[in-house]
């Protein structure tokens, strides 16, 4: 299974964020675009993708398989209104991410299962029989 890489170019992002930001009008605390950590494990029968995503709702996740490309995305927008005084204050909060993985041809793509529990998204990707490791055996010499 292959993770599709994103650019790790620190300096352009840092300089764009620093010099391209309006420091007096900034409201970045209401926008979050963090990439959750992912573990990919393999056993004899499956690949297991684990994504740490605490505080998120499973209804906001989207898991899509297009050919051999597995994409996990999350999008949530909240709006809160406070009418304690004579005016209305509106704050918007938006959170999103997208991760993609290229699956090998040796997986059972129609049997992929996903589960979200206690802040952990788990995706089980079964292997085809021909991809499973066979037990070792002794070969007799004639």
Model pLDDT, residue 55: 84
**3-state SS assignment for residue 109:** helix
Print the domain residue range for 88.
2-6+30-128
Whether 53 and 121 have beta carbons less than 8 Å apart is answered as: yes
Reading phi first (left if > 0) and then psi (alpha if -120 to 50, else beta), residue 68 is in alpha
Residue 41 resides in a domain: yes
Average pLDDT estimate for 71-81 = 78
Q: What is the pLDDT of residues 107-117, one digit of tens each?
A: 999 999 999 99
What CATH number did the domain enclosing 103 receive? 2.60.40.790
Domain count within the chain: 1
């Amino acid at each position: 299974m292959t993770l599709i890489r994103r650019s790790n170019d620190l300096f352009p992002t840092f300089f764009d964020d620093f010099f391209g930001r309006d420091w007096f009008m900034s409201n970045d605390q209401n926008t979050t675009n963090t990439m959750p950590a992912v573990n990919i494990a393999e056993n004899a029968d499956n690949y297991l993708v684990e994504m740490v995503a605490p505080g998120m709702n499973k209804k906001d996740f989207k898991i899509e398989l297009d050919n051999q490309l597995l994409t996990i995305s999350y999008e949530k927008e909240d709006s809160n209104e406070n009418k304690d005084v004579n005016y209305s204050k509106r704050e918007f909060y938006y959170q999103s991410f997208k991760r993609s993985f290229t699956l090998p041809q040796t997986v059972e793509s129609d049997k992929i299962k996903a589960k979200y529990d206690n802040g952990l998204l788990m995706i089980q990707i079964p292997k085809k029989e021909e991809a499973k490791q066979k037990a070792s055996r002794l070969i007799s010499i004639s």
